[in-house]
Structure 1
Amino acid sequence: MDKEKTLNKPQAILFDMDGTLFKTESLLLPAHQRLFDKLREEGLYTAPTPPAERMMGSLGMLLEDIWKVVMPDGSERAHARANELLLQLELEGLKAGNTELYPGVKETLARLKEQGVRLYVASNGLEHYVKGIAEAHGMLDLFDGLYSAGEHGTKSKVHLVELLLQREGVSSAWMVGDRSSDVEAGRKNGLAVIGCQYAGFGNPDELAGSDVLISSFDELLGLYASSV
């Protein structure tokens, strides 16, 4: 853990989903090739399947922006169909039960909740995807709310977090995530930012501006215990 300062004890903690709670590659990599095979079958995309690393590197973006990075040569119709297919394949994968959380996620969340911390998800993903992960991994009861760009139509994580804080009446919180969008959302909403270094999706500068960097999820327990 790279600790730069003592944090104020939060009323709530907000978590990104992909790369923070959920080991996204356990679901996304099996779906990636199938998605592009289906697009080619339907005549919507003719190029070779883009590298999976391109998809993984774009996690944290809004879905409409992900396709601009992953298949910039694809038509609007192909992008729209890719949205439908990805959600379908991801929900099928979640039901199959072969996906993973990062080590210690459920145990850490449960201990934080026992100590009276309100727990939320703030994700740029689709509503059914975010809720599907929480349901598949038995986490629904741990959270006070699951907020997603897909459900609320927000155009950035900054606005999603702002909406969450207002609706839930949260006055002090930490933002925990692995991407620059999480750092920005925390900073612009006056929150302490905990940067997660263990996913490895982004570039080394992704988490610049975080108050604290952690290399395993359970380090949050020590941070909370030492906060004032």
Structure 2
Amino acid sequence: MGPRGWGPSGGFSVRGFPELVIFDLDGTLVDTRAWWLPVAEEGLRRFSERTGRKVPFPGGEKAWSLVGLPDDEVFRGLLPPERQGEWEVLRDILVPIEGEVLRSQRDFLFPGTRELLGELKAAGVKLGVASNCGPDYLEAVLEGQGIAPWVDASFCRGRPEGMGEKAQMLREAMRVLGAQEAVLVGDRDSDARAAQDAGIPFVLREGSGPEVFAAAYACCAASNQEGVRDCLARGCFQGG
């Protein structure tokens, strides 16, 4: 496969931007560090109460490393090995807490997120969301943080039914929105690998940690939303 991308020398673009931009959520649009750790700790406290056996909080570094993984990996990862078979119990406790926080009218989007989405939308760019989360969390972010009006299509594990790996979400977003070219903006190695598997360029939203593969694969990297906008406007090509 030859170079994939957009820009003045080829590819598909809308007023200088890519035809379709697909965003990850946590660490990309949502400043998950601002709320995740106390929510995870509270979820484990309630889990301990419900099950009658105390589970210690695994620590901030461990809890943060789980953000962006599929639900089963997140909730198993918060539990000690001997309790990981109970991950669905923890999920059923923790997901509603997440929803309450995200719908609490507190702003957990990174500064400049609404401006970025608004500018892209005004330019005629198609916008998608692809996340490893479950449907309840996806809805809590889209509705609770007020970004649903900008998003043309959103995908997560199990939405639509049967949806699995993020690369599948990216291909489905292109199909549903009729896009010939797209770019993924994400913050994790897993995002970059999904973009690679789907054969599309990747822009790294820095800040989640030392994501070695993502940094190597990304055609552009930015530490804030203004920088992401500049990456998208600059043009980006990657070999496939």
Q: Is the shorter-chain TM-score for this pair beyond 0.5, marking a shared fold?
A: yes
One of 16, 33, 48 as aligned partner of 2:41: 33
What's the offset of the Cα at 1:62?
Answer: 0.5
What is aligned with 1:195?
A: 204
Tell me, yes or no, if the aligned pair for 1:31 and 1:90 is still in contact at 8 Å: yes
Tell me the percent identity. Answer: 25
Which consecutive residues of structure 1, in runs of 5 or more, have no partner in the other structure? none
2:111 counterpart of 1:93: no
Worse-superposed segment, 124-133 or 153-162: 153-162
Deviations 1:25-65 (A, max 9, x none): 22322211211111111126433221132121111211111
Task: For 1:127 and 1:61, locate their aligned partners in 2 and report how far apart those are by CA, in whole Å.
Answer: 14
What's the offset of the Cα at 1:149?
Answer: 1.2
* 1:48 match: secondary structure: coil
- Once the two structures are superposed, the pairs formed by residues 20-99 of structure 1 within 5 Å of their partners are 20-43=28-51, 45-75=53-83, 77-99=85-107
- The list of structure 1 runs, each at least 4 consecutive aligned residues, that deviate by more than 6 angstroms after superposition, is none
Tell me, yes or no, if the aligned pair for 2:26 and 2:68 is still in contact at 8 Å: yes
Worse-superposed segment, 146-155 or 26-35: 146-155
What is aligned with 1:151?
A: 159
Residue identity matched to 2:113:
V
Task: For 2:168 and 2:221, locate their aligned partners in 1 and report how far apart those are by CA, in whole Å.
Answer: 23
Task: For 1:188 and 1:226, locate their aligned partners in 2 and report how far apart those are by CA, in whole Å.
Answer: 23
Tell me, yes or no, if the aligned pair for 1:131 and 1:146 is still in contact at 8 Å: no
Residue identity matched to 1:146:
S
Which consecutive residues of structure 2, in runs of 5 or more, have no partner in the other structure? none
Task: For 2:95 and 2:152, locate their aligned partners in 1 and report how far apart those are by CA, in whole Å.
Answer: 24
One of 185, 189, 195 as aligned partner of 2:194: 185
TM-score, normalising length: structure 2:
0.84
Residue identity matched to 1:182:
D
2:137 counterpart of 1:129: yes
Structure 1 residues 106 and 23, CA, compared in 2 at 3 Å: closer, same or farther? same
TM-score, normalising length: structure 1:
0.88
One of 156, 171, 179 as aligned partner of 1:162: 171
One of 94, 98, 103 as aligned partner of 2:111: 103
2:212 counterpart of 1:218: no
Task: For 1:45 and 1:122, locate their aligned partners in 2 and report how far apart those are by CA, in whole Å.
Answer: 36
What's the offset of the Cα at 1:67?
Answer: 2.7
Worse-superposed segment, 180-189 or 48-57: 48-57
What's the offset of the Cα at 1:72?
Answer: 4.1
Tell me the C-alpha RMSD between the 2 structures.
Answer: 2.1
Residue identity matched to 1:38:
R
Tell me, yes or no, if the aligned pair for 1:23 and 1:99 is still in contact at 8 Å: no
Deviations 1:161-193 (A, max 9, x none): 222222332210110000111101111111110
* 2:35 match: secondary structure: helix
Task: For 2:192 and 2:51, locate their aligned partners in 1 and report how far apart those are by CA, in whole Å.
Answer: 39
Tell me, yes or no, if the aligned pair for 2:186 and 2:192 is still in contact at 8 Å: yes
Task: For 2:145 and 2:169, locate their aligned partners in 1 and report how far apart those are by CA, in whole Å.
Answer: 23
Residue identity matched to 1:12:
L
